[in-house]
Structure 1
Amino acid sequence: MQVAVTGAAGCLGQVLLPALARELSIQRIRALDRAAPALPRPGDGATIDARVLDLGQLQPDDLNGVDTLVHLAFQLMGGHGGRRRHDRSWVRQQNVALSEHTFHTAVNAGVRHIVFLSSAAVYGPWPDSPQPLGEYHPTRPRFPYAEDKVAVEQALLALARKYPECSATILRPPAIIGPHAHPLLLQIARGRFYPAGDEQPVQILWEDDAAAAIVRSVTTRTAGIFNLGAEPVWSLRAMARFQRRWAIPVPLRLIRALHPLAWRLTARAGDPGWVQGLDGPLELDCTRAREHLGWTPQVTTAECLKRLRD
């Protein structure tokens, strides 16, 4: 089996490449990104072919012989865009238009399975979000990043209907944390600050478990939409106070007022849309991933926090 990975130099790509290389059924991996990805040390695993290119220039020849495409590339929380990260139309074009181009190029190259890493953010969250959320629950994006994820999901599902020979798998993880995670997520997971007010349940996922779910999707070729998440589900207050005597509540109104300013100053602060969902629950039902992908998270919520803080 030959697998191509877009966004291979990104946070999760650095974890996914070695996980795929260890899978015996995969002989070759094509790592695609606008920056050169860090490649695992050569061993007995799959051969990795790294190609530096912009997805806008992706051609069928770049995917020649590829069976499965894993699409990770996304303009995430500032990313590489510099000041352009404030330009909504540019970000939308990077996320949606380039994804659509990538999907159509893959089909024309003979790719027969596409795995897209979406996000639990497509559900909201909203104050009235049900607990837990199943894949059947309608998407209700609350901020631009989630809107783009929904748009790419819809584009991929439409492509799968038009070309039934190509199956589609959509994975919806919550915030993915670990050594390679975005600095903002690491700061929140390691910090003592939490939003004051109601204790809304929030889910996280360790990066190796996220990579394992993608590997299972590739090797089983299971089509459909699947929620992913660590268990049990905790509040941000519980995370901040875990193994600590004290933590500091911060008024949500203050967070929403200051975060856009921080985002203007540094991409490390993340998209201000993310703080909009702090007043709603985000608890995922991961039953379908267990039953159909054969995937179960190996790292609990408590262990996620222990690993980061140790």
Structure 2
Amino acid sequence: MRVVIVGASGNAGIALLRRLETEPDIEVTGVSRRLPDGVELPWHAVDVGADDATERLTGIFQGADAVVNLAWQIQPSHDPRQLYRTNVLGSRSVFRAVLRAGVPSLVHASSVGVYAPGPKWAFVKETWLRTGVPESSYSRHKALVERMLDEIEADHPTLRVVRLRPGLIFQRDAGTEIGRYFAGPLLPARLLRFGWIPLLPRHPGLKMQAVHADDVADAYLRALRADVRGAFNIAAGPVLDPHVVGDAFHGVPLPVPGLLLEGAASLSWWLRLQPVDRGWVRLALKAPLMSCDRAAAELGWRPRVDAVSALRELVAGLAARAHADTPPLRDDADLPGRMGGLLRGRLPGTGNPY
């Protein structure tokens, strides 16, 4: 089986590469905007948002049995055109190339962010409304791309389309990347090595699901091998709420109104103090909890790492500045979101870190 992974150098991508390396019957080709250091497997540098992306990807996809599309940008949050170019137009280029090359299977990285606001006291299935959380550009883009897939499935019924919708994806090697993209240079990451977070915001909507990157990679492998179609929710238990996280990191949950959380994020984002805009807080408060029963029943997928252990691993990675030798995950002190970048005028939420 020949599999092409688009966006192979990111958080989920490096985990999927690790997983597929253990499968002797799978030949892997990687695609990313910039080549990682020490490339061993066949790898192509393609910017999926470029005008010639469809043409270039079509040639790369020729003869492939499946394409996994992981390409997505979270930053720069202050450049919405760049995010739309990569996330929406780039996904369209990938899908068009899959059709032109006659690839029989497409596995796409969607997200819990595709769902409309939902309950925090129950678990929704894959049939939940997919209109996203309007205030979040990330969520809007996920919903737009899934609507593209709806049209493709209707027009090309022979193409097998699978969508994985994971929660937050954690692993140690993503520590530096996640710190840059979601916290910024003012986070005292080194203090996290003690495993103690003294205060945590408490709000009824702050209940989220997470999953270890290796478990996500296993879900992708199962989706590649199984004769399945459609969407699969991917998350591990327990649900991460302020009390669960407080117990894990010896912290005290402090009640905070949702408007205050959103306002603090918005003000600090506009002041370029951190890279997360109000939309991310709104998404965290409104995104539903997901049932993963379909993944268990049809893929035989169950997480090996619980959500608290995955979060502990990520926090340890943040403290240790853990990273990988790929452009999105590298440990460059001069990038936006790091103190060196700030001192050089590269403010959080600006510049292309991919």
Q: Give me the TM-score of the superposition, normalised by structure 2.
A: 0.75
Indicate the SS of the match to 1:195: strand
Which residue identity is paired with 2:112?
Answer: A
Distance 1:297 1:185, change over 3 A: farther
Gaps spanning 5+ residues in structure 1: where? 43-47
Select which of 250, 271, 275 maps to 2:281.
275
Select which of 59, 72, 76 maps to 1:61.
59
Q: Is the 8 A contact 2:32 2:44 kept in 1?
A: yes
Mapped partners of 1:73, 1:169: distance in 2 = 15
Select which of 192, 212, 216 maps to 1:206.
212
Distance 1:67 1:38, change over 3 A: farther
1:94 aligns with 2:94: no
Residue in structure 1 matched with residue 21 of structure 2 by the alignment: 21
Select which of 148, 151, 157 maps to 1:164.
157
Residue in structure 2 matched with residue 173 of structure 1 by the alignment: 166
Q: Is the 8 A contact 1:17 1:39 kept in 2?
A: no
Q: Is the 8 A contact 1:192 1:241 kept in 2?
A: no
Query: Which has the larger displacement, 149-158 or 252-261?
Result: 252-261
Which residue identity is paired with 2:152?
Answer: L
Q: Is the 8 A contact 2:162 2:230 kept in 1?
A: yes
Query: Which has the larger displacement, 257-266 or 97-106?
Result: 257-266
Select which of 131, 137, 159 maps to 2:122.
131
Q: Is the 8 A contact 2:69 2:109 kept in 1?
A: yes
Q: Is the 8 A contact 1:204 1:229 kept in 2?
A: yes
C-alpha RMSD of the superposition? 2.7
Mapped partners of 1:68, 1:175: distance in 2 = 25
Gaps spanning 5+ residues in structure 2: where? 317-354
1:118 aligns with 2:117: no
1:195 aligns with 2:201: yes
Mapped partners of 1:266, 1:29: distance in 2 = 39
Mapped partners of 2:274, 2:62: distance in 1 = 36
Indicate the SS of the match to 2:237: coil
Query: Which has the larger displacement, 146-155 or 230-239?
Result: 230-239
Q: Is the 8 A contact 1:63 1:106 kept in 2?
A: yes
Mapped partners of 2:72, 2:79: distance in 1 = 15
Residue in structure 2 matched with residue 3 of structure 1 by the alignment: 3
Which residue identity is paired with 2:11?
Answer: C
Which residue identity is paired with 1:3?
Answer: V
Distance 1:31 1:258, change over 3 A: same
Distance 1:166 1:38, change over 3 A: farther
Q: Is the 8 A contact 1:169 1:217 kept in 2?
A: yes
Distance 1:270 1:5, change over 3 A: farther
Mapped partners of 1:305, 1:54: distance in 2 = 31
Q: Is the 8 A contact 1:25 1:219 kept in 2?
A: no
Mapped partners of 1:195, 1:69: distance in 2 = 40
Distance 1:304 1:255, change over 3 A: same
Mapped partners of 1:256, 1:149: distance in 2 = 21
1:231 aligns with 2:249: no
Mapped partners of 1:216, 1:72: distance in 2 = 16
Which residue identity is paired with 1:226?
Answer: F
Which residue identity is paired with 1:137?
Answer: W
Shift of 1:229: 0.4
1:263 aligns with 2:255: no
Distance 1:3 1:97, change over 3 A: same
Distance 1:130 1:141, change over 3 A: farther
Q: State the number of aligned residues.
A: 296
Shift of 1:164: 1.8
Mapped partners of 1:292, 1:37: distance in 2 = 34
Shift of 1:63: 1.3
